[in-house]
């Protein structure tokens, strides 16, 4: 069946009619797409409206905030405020869970990194938005922080938006992963990557090698192995953009592995479990890939704090398993 012209709205309504998605979740995903459209437009003209550069503040995890970080966080919060479906948001840019819509029947919790890769804003590099949706468990009028402190296995849906040469929305829908590209001529996300499946292996790895000296010796040996061009049976190429979404998207479609391990200074790495690692791990697994700390499945980790960090290796199943093996033994 041709997918030409299938809008996100049409696709989601078909999933609803087939009893594969609930109506309220359909509306949440449409609202996330709406936020993505706003951000795509603002990112494309950020240099023209004074939204480049630092904001002079640090976020809850100590990172310097860009002006677009703050703007993106406001856009996402505004998109879901008073919708009657999302009661609270846990965001990289917020110190604590923010209640946006109290009500006994408000069903969902949103966890998000509104603007992944914001160091790329001033150089027109790729950026992204990562999100995950949990079903609220508390029964009071308002949600609590505990509603957001969950394991990735409890995610109802997750996905990301990539802002690059095109704007692409990738979502989990039931047990599948679907990709939609924003057509600026009609202002709609159109189905462009149906039923995404990650290749079993790949020839690309993504990592910030500037931290090589601070990594475990076994990981140094792993990088040395990947970089060794004398073994022509295992040719690999380094691709690193500085945006998790951009690097993961390449691995999702073409195979390979992205990794951000712990280091001497940061034992658990840099990435946040709740709103970066877990949502992308769900996408990876439902597309046939794998996500691990190197020793543990990402989705099995119970979050204990909003900004908890976790090492991450994500991508093709065989590539991540090979990473785990090297971390354990220091050899292939």
**pLDDT tens readout for residues 61-99:** 656 677 888 999 999 999 999 889 999 999 999 999 999
Residue 93 appears among annotated catalytic residues = yes
Residue 214 appears among annotated catalytic residues = no
- From residue 179, how far is each of 5, 186, 209, 216, 253 by CA, in Å? 13, 17, 30, 36, 10
- Give the model confidence (pLDDT) of 24-50 as tens digits: 999 999 999 999 999 999 988 877 766
- Give the model confidence (pLDDT) of 221-230 as tens digits: 999 999 887 7
Of 115, 127, 191, 282, catalytic: 115
Of 8, 101, 116, 273, catalytic: 116
| Same CATH fold assignment for domains 8-193 and 204-329 | no
Domain ranges of the chain: 8-193, 204-329
Of 42, 63, 98, 154, catalytic: 63
Of 29, 68, 93, 282, catalytic: 93
Of 101, 113, 147, 247, catalytic: 113
- Give the model confidence (pLDDT) of 244-257 as tens digits: 999 999 999 999 99
Instruction: Judge: domain 8-193, CATH 3.30.2270.10.
Output: no
Residue 175 appears among annotated catalytic residues = no
| Higher pLDDT pick, 56 / 47 | 47
- Give the model confidence (pLDDT) of 237-287 as tens digits: 999 998 999 999 999 999 999 999 999 889 999 999 999 999 999 999 999
pTM of structure = 0.94
Of 8, 12, 25, 69, catalytic: 69
Residue 92 appears among annotated catalytic residues = yes
Of 92, 101, 188, 247, catalytic: 92
Of 276, 280, 299, 312, catalytic: 276
Residue 74 appears among annotated catalytic residues = no
Residue 102's pLDDT is what? 87
Residue 51's pLDDT is what? 62
Q: What percent of the chain has a predicted confidence (pLDDT) above 70?
A: 92
Residue 53's pLDDT is what? 60
Residue 276 appears among annotated catalytic residues = yes
Query: Which CATH architecture best describes the domain 204-329?
Result: 3-Layer(aba) Sandwich (3.40)
Residue 3's pLDDT is what? 60
């Amino acid at each position: 069946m041709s997918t030409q012209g299938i809008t996100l709205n049409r696709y989601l309504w078909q999933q609803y009619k087939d009893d594969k998605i609930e109506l309220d979740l359909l509306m949440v995903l449409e609202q996330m797409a709406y936020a993505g459209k706003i951000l795509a437009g603002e990112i494309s003209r950020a240099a023209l409206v004074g939204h480049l550069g630092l904001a002079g503040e640090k976020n809850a995890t100590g990172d310097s905030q860009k002006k677009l970080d703050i703007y993106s966080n406001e856009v996402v919060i505004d998109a879901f405020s008073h919708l009657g479906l999302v009661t609270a948001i846990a965001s990289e840019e917020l110190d604590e869970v923010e209640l946006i819509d109290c009500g006994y029947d408000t069903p969902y919790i949103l966890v998000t990194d509104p603007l992944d890769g914001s160091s790329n804003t001033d150089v027109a590099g790729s950026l992204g938005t990562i999100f995950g949706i949990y079903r609220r468990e508390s029964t009071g009028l308002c949600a609590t922080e505990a509603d957001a402190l969950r394991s990735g296995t409890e995610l109802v849906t997750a996905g990301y938006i990539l802002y690059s040469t095109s704007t692409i929305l990738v979502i989990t829908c039931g047990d599948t992963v679907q990709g939609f590209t924003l057509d600026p001529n009609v202002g709609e996300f159109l189905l462009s990557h149906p039923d995404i499946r990650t290749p079993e292996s790949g020839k690309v790895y993504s990592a910030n090698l500037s931290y090589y000296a601070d990594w475990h010796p076994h990981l140094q040996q792993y990088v040395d192995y990947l970089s060794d061009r004398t073994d022509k049976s295992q040719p690999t190429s380094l691709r690193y953009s500085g945006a998790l979404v951009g690097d993961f998207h390449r691995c999702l479609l073409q195979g390979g592995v992205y990794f951000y391990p712990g280091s001497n200074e940061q034992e658990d790495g840099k990435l946040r479990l709740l709103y970066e690692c877990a949502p992308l791990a769900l996408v990876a697994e439902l597309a046939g890939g794998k996500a691990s700390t190197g020793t543990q499945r990402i989705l099995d980790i119970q979050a204990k704090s909003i900004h908890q960090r976790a090492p991450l290796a994500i991508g093709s199943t065989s590539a991540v398993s090979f990473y785990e093996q090297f971390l354990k033994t220091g050899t292939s």
